[in-house]
Amino acid sequence: MRALQASTSYSAGLGISSVAAPLSRPCRRLGAVAKVEPTEKSIEIMRKFSEQYARKSDTYFCVDKGVTSVVIKGLAEHRDTLGAPLCPCRHYDDKAAEAQQGFWNCPCVPMRERKECHCMLFLTPDNDFAGQEQAITVEEIRETTANM
The catalytic site residues sit at 89
- Binding segment (CB under 6 A) for ligand SF4, from list 20-28, 93-101, 112-120, 133-141: 112-120
| Candidate residues 108, 123, 136, 141; the one interacting with ligand SF4 per rule CB under 6 A | 108
| 121 contacts ligand SF4 (rule: CB under 6 A) | yes
Sign of the Cα torsion 72, 109, 100, 6 reads positive
Minimal distance, residue 87 CB to ligand SF4, in Å: 3
Quote the least distance from Cβ 114 to ligand SF4, whole Å. Answer: 11
Pick one of 89, 99, 123, 136: the residue that binds ligand SF4 (CB under 6 A): 89
Contacts of 112 (CB under 8 A, 6+ apart): none
Q: Which stretch binds ligand SF4 (CB under 6 A): 25-33, 106-114, 125-133, 138-146?
A: 106-114
Output the CA angle 62-63-64, nearest 5 degrees. Answer: 85
Q: Which of 111, 123, 136, 141 binds ligand SF4 (CB under 6 A)?
A: 111
Please give the residues from 28 up to 87 whose contact with ligand SF4 meets the rule CB under 6 A: 71, 87
Q: Pick from 6, 30, 119, 141: which binds ligand SF4 (CB under 6 A)?
A: 119
Q: Please return the burial class of 28, using the count of CB atoms within 10 Å of its CB with bins 0-12, 13-18 and 19+.
A: middle
DSSP per residue, 6-58: --HHHHHHHT---SEEETTHHHHHHHHH--SPPPHHHHHHHHHHHHHHHHHHT
Q: How far apart are CA 142 and CA 146, in angstroms?
A: 6
Residues contributing to the site for ligand SF4 (CB under 6 A): 71, 87, 89, 104, 106-108, 111, 117-119, 121-122
